[in-house]
Amino acid sequence: MTSEPTPAGSSAVTPARTGRWRRAVDAVDERMGIKALAYPVPEHANNLTWSLGGVTAVAFVTLLVTGVYITQYYAPIPETANQSVRDLVVHAWIGSFARALHFWAAQAMFVSALLHLLRVFVHASYKRPREGNWVVGTLMFLLTYLAVFTGSVLKWDQEGYEALAHNLDVAKLLGGLGIWFTTKLTDRVPILLRLFSGHVVIIPGLILVLFVLHALLVKRHRISSHPAIPAPEEEVAEPFTAHLKRVAAFGTVLLGALGVLAVLVPPVIGPTPVDGIEVTRPLWMFWWFFPFEEWFGIASIAIVIFALFALIIAVPFLDRGPRRRWQERKVSMGIALVLLAALVAITVEVWINNPKGH
């Protein structure tokens, strides 16, 4: 008895195709180790608050892509820098959109990184054995802060020029430690060009290195349990690759929002800088230390920034107790709330009483 032929388009061919696909995946994995990403992730880590690290990575990738495009038109020379930004916006294909998307992605990365840091603090996910990853994450946040600062200088308008002047004043106070940020390092290369190299090479490179270390430490120690869930081992777990799909969904929403902002609220281009005046106000993320210069002098800026980040880095070494629920950590949560309220109050004070500058 002969068997009937398989109809065209039948699912009988599926196993062969699936087999070829699996063999291809296995061949790639044998060489690249992609399946190592399939480590288990608890269910609580799939909501937005626990995915802020991935959202920050999406903003960072957006900055890299738009930054590569912008550098094709930007001239990091004081005499032509401001005009090159104007040419980018006016003459380059999607130049205005690319610059606006870069501008808003930088702020999105800063905000999401800050919220991620706060989430980790509230849930005490920095405690043993994750102290090292907290330090790495804090350094990445500091580098994000420096990236925003150097980016604000590169447009070489009045605001950027005044920001650089503050940078030079603080660097002089640091003596030899601050020589990289001054014109004394070399008289052959303009400091704007050196800040440009820092913005597009050094800072992103360091962030990438720390990001890889950060990801490896997360894989090593796993995503921390939720302090409000009594038996995390009973949570539903799924592979990290499935978690990445949720992060991609959040990232897609972020990109859509940034695209809308880029179209509706593009950043302005300030005037060519004039030496000897101080009339602008920096970006909002710098407002919290803006009044300290007027209250205590230029040296206070370096002291306040150093003290704040030193305190953040020291958090897991100061709060070493076993308790992780925020209700049980009254001292650390109280200090954090007072500090956060002070920073917000200073920021609001600058916004209301100092609309343009000094």
Tell me the two tokens of residue 229. Answer: 């869930």
Q: How far apart are CA 148 and CA 103, in angstroms?
A: 9
103 within domain boundaries: yes
67 within domain boundaries: yes
Give the number of domains in the chain: 1
Question: Which pLDDT does position 24 carry in this prediction?
Answer: 81
Q: Is 281 exposed, middle or buried (0-12, 13-18, 19+ CB in 10 A)?
A: middle
358 within domain boundaries: no
Q: How far apart are CA 221 and CA 242, in angstroms?
A: 19
Question: Which pLDDT does position 241 carry in this prediction?
Answer: 81
Domain ranges, residue 250: 37-353
Half-sphere exposure of 115 (CA within 13 A, CB side): 15
Q: How far apart are CA 148 and CA 307, in angstroms?
A: 20
154 within domain boundaries: yes
226 within domain boundaries: yes
Question: Which pLDDT does position 327 carry in this prediction?
Answer: 92
Tell me the two tokens of residue 335. Answer: 């200090």
pLDDT (tens digit, 9 = 90+) per residue, 296-355?
877 788 888 889 999 999 999 999 888 999 999 999 999 999 999 999 999 888 888 876
Question: Which pLDDT does position 11 carry in this prediction?
Answer: 47
Question: Which pLDDT does position 15 carry in this prediction?
Answer: 56
285 within domain boundaries: yes
Judge whether 351 and 358 are in contact, CB under 8 Å: no
CATH of the domain at 41: 1.20.810.10
Q: What is the dihedral of CA 223, 226, 227, 233, to 10 degrees?
A: -90
- Radius of gyration, alpha carbons of the chain: 25
- The per-residue pLDDT string of the chain (358 residues; one tens digit each, 9 = 90 and over) reads 444 455 544 444 455 556 787 788 778 877 777 777 777 888 888 899 999 999 999 999 999 999 999 999 999 999 999 999 999 999 999 999 999 999 999 999 999 999 999 999 999 999 999 999 999 999 999 999 999 999 999 999 998 888 888 788 777 777 766 777 777 777 788 889 999 999 999 999 999 999 999 999 998 998 888 888 876 555 667 888 888 889 999 999 999 999 999 999 999 888 888 887 777 778 898 888 878 877 887 778 888 888 999 999 999 999 988 899 999 999 999 999 999 999 999 988 888 887 665 4
pLDDT (tens digit, 9 = 90+) per residue, 333-344?
999 999 999 999
Question: Which pLDDT does position 295 carry in this prediction?
Answer: 82
What is the DSSP-derived secondary structure letter of residue 222?
A: -
22 within domain boundaries: no
28 within domain boundaries: no
Residue type, 43: E
